[in-house]
Amino acid sequence: MTSEQLPFYIGRYKVTGQLGSGGMGVVYLATDERLHRRVAIKRLVKNPTSSTAHLRIRKEALLLAQLNHSNIVQIYDVVEERDDVALVMEYVEGSTLEHWQRERNPNLQQKIQLLRQICYGLARAHTVGIIHRDLKSDNILIDENNTAKITDFGIAKNWRENSDLTREQHVAGTWGAMSPEQALGKDLDNRCDLFALGVLAYKLLCGQSPFGDHESPFIIVDRIVNSQHPPAAKMNPDLPPALCQLLDRLLTKNPDKRPLNATAVAAELDAVQMDLDANTAGTISRTVTITAEGFHRNQRRRVRHRRILAGAALAGCMTLLVAAAAVLLPESQRETKGKYIAIVAPAESASGSREARLLVSNVLSAIKQGLSNREGLFLVPYSESERLRGQPLQEQARALNAQLLLQPTISCERVHCEASLELIDTANFSVAASRNTTLEIQESLGSRARTLQQLNYLLPGHPTQESEARFNISTDDYQRYLELYERRHDETSLEQSVSALEALLEKNPGFPPYYELLSELVIDHQFNTRSAESTKRFERALRRAPREIADHPALLAAELRLAAINNEVSRAQALLSQLQLTIPDQASYYHLRAIYHQTRSEYDKALQAMDRALALRTSATYLRQKALALSARGDLDEAKDYLLQSLQLSDNDSDTLSLLAAIELDSGNPGEAIRLLNSLGLDKLGAMDTYNLCLAHYIERQFERAQNCFDRVVESAPKDADPLLYKAEIARAQQLPQKAQALAERALALTDGREDWEGILMRARAHAELGQADRAVDALLKIRRQAPDDLYVNYARAQIYITGGDLNSAMAHIRKTLELGMSPIWLNTERFAPVCKRTDFAGLRGDFPELCSKRKENTQVAQK
């Protein structure tokens, strides 16, 4: 590379100053003259011990360049000249973490918020297999907006080939921040970064290194490997106990005892932050009379004395530990005490008789109930397992994050079936235990009881905590329930299924699975019909539930869905509290809580709940649920990141691909949305998928395809006004005003009597389409406090105001919609033509230059 005399060039970059230097190289300030932006360039020193180091660094840097995350310094380019390597990075105008703490004097909440950001950056990089190995305050940059950015990410991982503790210059990482396993040269994973995060967080929150400030690096490393750090509560008694426990777990020597991942750490920090926000008064400041260095020196003097007393104190201490464990154990450890077990969905058999298929459903129902409340086991919801039917067991275990799999195999003859149950340990995919039994096809309740008995034999160390005896049901009624469960996804028979289940409830209201199935059917029925009567029927059924099953999770979950639909906040909160005490698996509880907040458009709360669920069990379903909340909040790029993580666990998950298609549509990529939805198969598209496919064709101006598609939506959901309004828009774009008016009148008629905010919003759109601007605005004012301030509602309001000619109001909602992440391509329709034609919108076009970029192209496209 060129001379060191300033200014000089590295590649096309003009170097104007030096920002710093270290053992791996020199960091320069430079200007990218092609893109007219400042960059930071790190020129790496040559590694004499490796002839291929620059090739591995280049490969690592190219991978890191794909990480577009707000908490990671972006790598733009790699420059290679005469075997020298330079990394061109984002320039962060700010300071290191240490300088930030000294100059800003941040409070505890600000420190926690910063640590959460560091966790988010780590979590993003760890998902692609990159570990940092040198996470320290010098490698955390804080910009002017108090955004933390991790720099030098991953380069240390490939820069040094060898780790030799006796030769300081060959140790990868910084002495005071490396993990015990790193110092000992062992294999590393993401948890080595969690230890370094613990060191960084400890210094930030306690003001000292957990391993003292001795001048000898060998003594520091010896303490890291062999000595216990001073408990955080001793170093800063003002810290919340939960935060002290988290710091101590991050710094444990055994990686298996640290938190699972950076996402789990972020969730615990979030819980601490929420507690601090709720209890801001009454803090007590206590004086610290200990230093970390003094603690470690005293430890050496106390070792012999402690060993003498250990034997005499052991008996009494064990009694106290057993009694105090439930109180003193950190919440996250209490929540995860147990193994996750998942049921492997049996392969579907097209040739099997109806009776044989019902017997398979019977066995699965018994297994689900038999595993749902066993000591030391958490059952992964079968809805997750069912999506993975037929995939290799290793892939299912990875997607479900389960330690045990229960694989049922059923082979049927004319009047009986042979059932085999295998318990598989996913650590090595060995069969831990197995049971075989014969089941009679005609004896549904007998087969259920025999299956439950086999589970007891299979899992003697995990006794059940619930009796089957209290759920009395006749053989015929149970057989009818199995039939209804079998066809629960058949949208054409929803009305008949709901009526049949109501009849079963009349006869035996004490069978909890009835309520679980009814809630699923009623919600689907309401979505397809937009009828408030579905909710009333559901409410009547719940009122008939006897007291003895009032605390059953299936019933509580069903009641929670009803409370969410009826907007009964206090009732919902009470039910959530009951469910937290009732559901053994707290990950499932937080998932349910997130779904509740999602239905209420409380996206921040939904995200907080999903972080708690993911901290306990990272599964494809949970990642998708977090992506759903992020997309609803308008964070489309981050939502896509989580969906891609979900696809890494389960690469053919239709629900994940469906949501990814919806996000591509909102992001302005209708062609990609069409491709993804077509890849699922038109026969497998649900109502929402079909609706999104219609919208994608409409945005692409494929009007005839869009019309035909919306026709299918109208047929499947005849009481939904939305597709009729889009058909009216298409008719207007095709210069068919009479047809557009007729469609709008039909849509208006469908909203008659609806008082929920979605129904009123549809009514407002219909009034606007019919030229009744005043009535449209009146309807909008009616729901100003009910409707969420999200992307969907703002876009609908923009549609209404621009149709009614209120351009100022339209402009405000268009701007809000764009700021929430919607692509400008959605404004290239005929309805929004004034945005590109009128001077009123000149300011908006200036702020969003891409707003009308495709309109000229669209006007030249033939209308199909």
Q: Helix crossing, 494-507 with 533-543: angle to 10°?
A: 20
**How far apart, in whole angstroms, are the C-alpha atoms of residue 112 and residue 105?**
13
For the chain, what is the largest distance between any 2 Cα atoms, rounded to a whole number of angstroms? 96
Question: In sequence order, what are the residues at sequence separation of 6 or more whose Cβ sits closer than 8 angstroms to the Cβ of residue 51?
Answer: none
Phi–psi pair at 720, nearest 5 degrees: -95, 120
Which tokens hold the place of 148?
């933390």
Residue recorded with tokens 């969410």: 564
Residue recorded with tokens 């420059």: 79
Per-residue 3-state assignment (H helix, E strand, C coil) for 145-196: CCCEEECCCCHHHHHCCCCCCCCHHHCCCCCCCCCHHHHCCCCCCCHHHHHH
**3-class SS shares of the chain: helix, strand, coil, % to 5:** 60, 10, 30
Whose CA is closest to 123, among 3, 270, 244, 237? 270
**How far apart, in whole angstroms, are the C-alpha atoms of residue 590 and residue 596?**
10
The one catalytic residue among 134, 248, 270, 635:
134
Rounded to the nearest 5 degrees, what angle is found at the Cα of 180, between the Cα atoms of 174 and 182?
60
In 336-392, alpha helices (H)? 354-371, 382-386
Consult the annotation and say whether 42 binds a ligand.
yes
Q: What is the DSSP letter of 229?
A: P
Question: In sequence order, what are the residues at sequence separation of 6 or more whose Cβ sits closer than 8 angstroms to the Cβ of residue 609?
Answer: 590, 591, 593, 594, 597
Rounded to the nearest 5 degrees, what angle is found at the Cα of 127, between the Cα atoms of 49 and 397?
120
DSSP strand pairing (339-343 vs 377-379): parallel
**How far apart, in whole angstroms, are the C-alpha atoms of residue 559 and residue 572?**
8
Residue recorded with tokens 């049927």: 412
One-letter amino acid of 731: A
**How far apart, in whole angstroms, are the C-alpha atoms of residue 727 and residue 774?**
23
- Specify the long-range contacts of residues 389-395, CB closer than 8 Å, at least 24 apart: 389/345, 389/346, 389/347, 389/348, 390/345, 390/347, 391/650, 391/652, 393/344, 393/424, 393/426, 393/429, 394/426, 394/429, 395/650
**Active site annotation includes 585:** no
- Catalytic positions, please? 134
Q: Which residues are annotated as a binding site?
A: 42
Q: Which residues are annotated as a binding site for ATP?
A: 42
